Amino acid sequence: MKILNFGSLNLDFTYTVPHFVQPGETLSADKLQTFPGGKGLNQSIALSRAGAEVFHAGCIGPDGEMLRRQLMDAGADVRFVKTLPDARTGHAIIQVDAAGQNCILLYGGANRMVDSGLIGEVLSHFGPGDWLLLQNEISGMEEILRTAGEKGMRIALNPSPITADIPHFPLDNVEYFLVNEVEGAALGGKGSPEQMLEGLKRRFPRAKIVLTLGKEGACYFDGEQTFFQPIFPVKAVDTTAAGDTFTGYFLTAIGEGLSGQEALKLASAASAIAVSRMGASSSIPSREETGRFLAAAKTR
């Protein structure tokens, strides 16, 4: 299964705090750790650890070479990662509170410097039947979506972070939407999960929808069948890469020919492992570890 992930590469500065800082408040952090991150990088690592053949495309500055090494160490192909000599690598300021929840401030940096030249060069190596995975942390999204659609690639979109321009992107060729409740409401309308799914399907009748619901689990809807997967109970330490782990594992499973229901289960197990650990990409489990987790869950 050949997947091109055209996505972000970030340095994550993660602060452990007793609670999220409030307006006007000065708060001392208990700990600071630096991790490789960015939704793009996280999802490429999840794809690779799940067993997919993944090519990562994106931009970094000279300060981001550790991100290239991180992708390589995970087994991803990095020939399309471009270093921009005069740019700063994108980064995130992440607060993680005592309950393991997080809030994130992003600086786009080199991620916002993806241009037509790089898009054309990268996509020239892919064609009909190849997968494209996108998030929304890089520039050039409209051109990437349009060009990939014209080439007959199979497109999966995780529209995160959600922005006002996403509904105006050329989305008709997206085969899979992977959204949380905020993204689902923005694209499909507010309401219950069932109402969001119906709204998304009305708007994108040819697409399949995956809706993640945090502690309430996840749903899959293909226009004919709806499947629900509850979470696997674990002690949450850091939820930073939970959604990215889920996306990478779900798409790998679909590419392998597993059903939507089977893919939901595998992705949910992998994300449960991820939230039990600190960090973003460093928390993503291997396929073998996820298999052992699922086997143990059956015996409980």
pLDDT value for 300: 64
Tokens 């489990």 identify what position?
285
pLDDT value for 218: 95
Q: What is the pLDDT along the chain (300 residues), one digit of tens a residue?
A: 689 999 999 998 889 999 999 999 999 999 998 888 899 999 999 999 999 999 999 999 999 999 999 999 999 999 999 999 999 999 989 899 998 888 988 899 999 999 999 999 999 999 999 999 999 999 999 999 999 999 999 999 999 999 999 999 999 999 999 999 999 999 999 888 889 998 999 999 999 999 999 889 999 998 888 999 999 989 888 887 899 999 999 999 999 999 999 999 999 999 999 999 887 788 899 999 999 999 988 766
Active site residues: 244
pLDDT value for 142: 97
How far apart CA 181 and CA 275 sit, in angstroms, is 18
Query: 188-218: b or e for each residue (b if 16 or more CB lie within 10 Å)?
Result: beeeebeebbbbbbebbeebbbbbbbeeebb
pLDDT value for 156: 98
pLDDT value for 35: 83
Contact 235, 276 (CB under 8 A): yes
Q: How far is CA 148 from CA 164, 222, 251, 295, in A?
A: 22, 22, 17, 38
Contact 148, 173 (CB under 8 A): yes
Tokens 């059903």 identify what position?
259
pLDDT value for 120: 97
Instruction: Give the distance from CA 269 to its chain's centroid.
Output: 16
H/E stretch holding 79 reads: strand 77-83
